[in-house]
Amino acid sequence: MLTETISTSRSVAGRVIGKQGRHIIDIQKQSCTRIRSENFETECQFIIEAETEKAINHAINLINAQAREPENRNALTFVILDYPPSACDNLIGALLQFRFVPVPDSPAVFTVKRQMYKALLCATLPDLTAPAVYPVVTLDQDPFLPRSGSFCVPASIPHCLDVITRQVASAIRYPQQVTLTLRFGMQLFYHYDPRCVLPHELDVSELCKQRIGYPTKLTFQNGVEDSEAAVLIDWLALEGFDRIRVEGEETGRVNLHFQSTRGDGMVIATLKWDEICGAWKQTKLKKSNHRLTILTFLQASSDRLDFRLLLSSQRNNVLPDLKFKDYLHKLQENTTSEQRRAIRFGPTAELGVDCVRYKIKNNFRSHNPLSPPRNAHFKVSLTSVEQGQVSGHPGHTLEVSVSHHAWRRLKSATRELGAGPGDGEPSRDVARIAQEAVEAVTETIELARRMCRVMGERKLWWEG
């Protein structure tokens, strides 16, 4: 029996062990080892016992990955690769393969000064008479990447959404936060397998057998082009940000500095493109109390643009949005700024609010909840139903934290329209209430993220 000891700081030991030892138990099962911990003044030691050195190294990698993880990783990730626009959209029954085409070094494609290959999806001998069945293959798990992922093609999005829905519904059978990421992006590969280079091809199953993320096998990054950075700037402008500038193009990174004049003053932040995760990550905020979330880029699926739909769900009973699937598919065909904004906030014509309840959220600075300080936040519950249904029909309750000023706006709008708690009749002005709810929380983009969660939760309940 071999033994190895690894030390971590006490501040991250709890994250490695998990609640009731859940994380350390999972690590033991995955690595086939036995692990016990010993606490000291400044560090925590994990003693690993296993029969092979490979199992010990695997356990060490899992412990280190868990220790470096400041927050929960995305639970499910589906990467939808771009493919030539001239390719047939109905890849029905085709033998799907990935062809790796060399990409020249260019300032427009931010590389890392090495030969890059773009993965093009192609089909051999497509049979248009075969049934509409598309393969969805799960990647091998890697502790340095999201827990799982699958490759789909744009033509199979309806089928992929069905598969994703079932997997997420299965993942939330017990209370937990689940984040689903759909990425439409240009995948650039290096450390490639020699079989990937033209004229050879690699089919889906062979590609998914590659240990993505390991230096000796296939490694990829999501490329971002100048046109995509322009879309991000346009998106930020819609949110009220101005004086935006792009920097760092020559270094292979895109840093965006932007300033926003909202009710709480000037906000300056920096966004950085993460090549591995394929996402814009927030790296700096000068105001720690200002919450910012970059949500969605929306463009036709044949274009090379990273498109992430963030859905978060907890175990609850949710009323489905019957039009969510058609709504999502329709918006994917459009690229205008207004439609990108619509998918974040939801269509007010199809989203009704039949009840607004507000209650004071306890603030540690205030001993008297009846007289909150100016910076207090309130929890506002919005129950959403379809307009054709009567008030009181089971719906999904969305709770958002808003500032005192925003809470007063909501309260005033609700009183004017007479849609207070317990109102038995649906208001004819539900669209106006929904619009007021959106405008009341424009001080923070948090509402947009939670709106996406609501749409995802309602869809998951309906499909599951």
Residue 18 has pLDDT above 60, yes or no: yes
Same domain, 452 and 395: yes
Q: Which two tokens stand for residue 106?
A: 């260019």
Q: What DSSP string describes 406-461?
A: HHHHHHHHHHHHT--TT--S--TTHHHHHHHHHHHTTT-THHHHHHHHHHHHHHHH
Q: What per-residue confidence (pLDDT) applies to 19?
A: 77
Whether a cis peptide bond, with omega within 30° of 0, leads into 85 is: no
Give 344's pLDDT tier (boundaries 50, 70, 90): very low
Question: What is the model's pTM?
Answer: 0.24
- Is there a domain that residue 382 lies in? yes
- Is there a domain that residue 144 lies in? yes
Same domain, 159 and 197: yes
Please identify, among 182, 199, 223, the residue that sits at the C-terminal boundary of a domain: 223
Tens digit of pLDDT for each residue in 143-180? 223 333 344 443 444 444 445 445 544 544 443 333 33
Using CA atoms, how far apart are residues 248 and 398, in angstroms rounded to an integer? 39
Residue 377 has pLDDT above 50, yes or no: no
Same domain, 61 and 187: no
Tens digit of pLDDT for each residue in 308-319? 222 222 222 333
- Is there a domain that residue 63 lies in? yes
Residue 347 has pLDDT above 50, yes or no: no
Same domain, 59 and 93: no
Which positions ≥6 away from 303 have C-beta within 8 Å?
A: 82, 335
Q: What per-residue confidence (pLDDT) applies to 6?
A: 87
- Is there a domain that residue 270 lies in? no
Residue 420 has pLDDT above 50, yes or no: no
Q: Which of 204, 193, 184, 82 is nearest to 138 (CA)?
A: 204
Same domain, 34 and 130: no
CB atoms within 10 A of CB 205: 10
Task: Kindly report which listed range (55-64, 220-229, 255-264, 310-319) carries the lowest average pLDDT score.
Answer: 310-319
Give 324's pLDDT tier (boundaries 50, 70, 90): very low
Same domain, 363 and 432: yes
Please identify, among 33, 67, 101, the residue that sits at the C-terminal boundary of a domain: 67
- Is there a domain that residue 210 lies in? yes
**Residue 116 belongs to domain spanning:** 76-223
Q: Which of 292, 145, 125, 301 is nearest to 220 (CA)?
A: 145
Same domain, 83 and 219: yes
Give 453's pLDDT tier (boundaries 50, 70, 90): low
Same domain, 215 and 88: yes
Average pLDDT value for the chain: 48
Return the DSSP state at 130: S
- Is there a domain that residue 228 lies in? no
- Is there a domain that residue 248 lies in? no
Please identify, among 200, 223, 246, the residue that sits at the C-terminal boundary of a domain: 223
Task: Kindly report which listed range (31-40, 305-314, 356-365) carries the lowest average pLDDT score.
Answer: 305-314
Same domain, 126 and 212: yes
Q: By percentage, how much of the chain surpasses pLDDT 90?
A: 1
Q: What per-residue confidence (pLDDT) applies to 57?
A: 86
- Is there a domain that residue 280 lies in? no
Query: How many domains are there within the chain?
Result: 3
Q: By percentage, how much of the chain surpasses pLDDT 70?
A: 14
Per-range mean pLDDT, top range of 33-47, 93-107, 117-131, 384-398: 33-47
Using CA atoms, how far apart are residues 161 and 464, in angstroms rounded to an integer? 12
Give 102's pLDDT tier (boundaries 50, 70, 90): low
Same domain, 125 and 58: no
Same domain, 52 and 166: no
H helix or E strand, kind and range, residue 245 = strand 241-247
Same domain, 434 and 378: yes
Residue 284 has pLDDT above 50, yes or no: yes
